[in-house]
Structure 1
Amino acid sequence: MIVGSNSDLLKNALDASSMRQEMISSNISNVNTPGYKAKRVEFESVLRDSMDGTSMRSTHSKHYGVNDLSSVSPAIKAQEGNRINENGNNVAIDTEMAELSANAIYYQALTTQMGNHYSMIRSVLR
């Protein structure tokens, strides 16, 4: 395949950023919902664990695990550490707005990287 695993990894990172955007939006929209617990999308930590060898690796086609970095996918986790309001909700609007801004910058950086990746492939093919 001419595109390779870098493209797959960038695609997975873009998918994680998109999923993170949806999760942040959900958290913001449920800021006043009694009992709602904020959620986070984890991708970078899963990728880091895969890179340093602390995650599970697949040794057989019927096993679960990570064969290569391009197969790393995001995970949704419950947000911990936030103060719980009197209604049982733990959404911190300031944190969510900061995460929203950070995710927008992250997504923009990924799209720039993806564009550069394809630009390099185009220049090689000429």
Structure 2
Amino acid sequence: MNVHNLSLLHRALDASDLRQEMVSNNIANVNTPGYKAKRVEFESLLTEAMNGTGLSRTNDRHFGANSINEVTARVEEQEGNMVGDDGNNVAIDTEMAELSANNLYYQSLISQTSAQYSMLRSVLR
């Protein structure tokens, strides 16, 4: 078992939790004039770090990740997708699909985390 795997799984679970919060906020603000939907970026940042194409951090105050172990979720405003004339861009169908997809993603992360801990328990016996 790799400690880095558990660390990565925990950060992915944190990202999924944050995504759930953002989707819930988006749904709650579906009728709020001027509200812009929020999206959580994690998987794309992880892919960039794995490929070595992400931003490098040259100072502790800079954004970016030098390695997979430093990738964390980031909240961004969704651009475009204007649904109403009031400037709100929340599409309830999109949000419900995001909610469902995030639920499946979270459950798979829980299963993987459980399997990692099961392996650790079997080694310690």
TM-score over 0.5 for the pair: yes
> Alignment partner of 1:106: what SS?
helix
> Alignment partner of 1:17: what SS?
helix
Map residues 87-126 of structure 1 onto 2, 5 A cutoff. 87-126=86-125
Q: Shift of residue 55 of structure 1?
A: 1.0
CA RMSD in angstroms comes to 1.8
Q: Hey, what's the Cα distance between the residues in 1 that align with 2:65 and 2:87?
A: 37
5+ residue gaps, structure 1? none
> Alignment partner of 2:35: what SS?
coil
Q: 1:89 to 1:53 in 2, by over 3 A?
A: same
Deviations 1:50-95 (A, max 9, x none): 00001133568x4744243122100111112312411110000000
> Alignment partner of 2:75: what SS?
strand
Length, aligned pairs only: 124
Match in the other structure for 2:3: 4
Map residues 1-126 of structure 1 onto 2, 5 A cutoff. 4-58=3-57, 62=60, 64=62, 65-126=64-125
> Alignment partner of 2:80: what SS?
coil
> Alignment partner of 1:47: what SS?
helix
Alpha carbons 2:11, 2:72 under 8 Å: kept: yes
Q: TM-score, normalised by structure 2?
A: 0.90
% identical equivalent positions: 58
Q: Shift of residue 20 of structure 1?
A: 0.2
Alpha carbons 2:41, 2:75 under 8 Å: kept: yes
5+ residue gaps, structure 2? none
> Alignment partner of 1:41: what SS?
strand
Q: Hey, what's the Cα distance between the residues in 1 that align with 2:74 and 2:54?
A: 13
Q: Shift of residue 4 of structure 1?
A: 1.2
Q: TM-score, normalised by structure 1?
A: 0.90
Q: Hey, what's the Cα distance between the residues in 2 that align with 1:15 and 1:116?
A: 18
Q: 1:11 to 1:37 in 2, by over 3 A?
A: same
Alpha carbons 2:49, 2:66 under 8 Å: kept: no
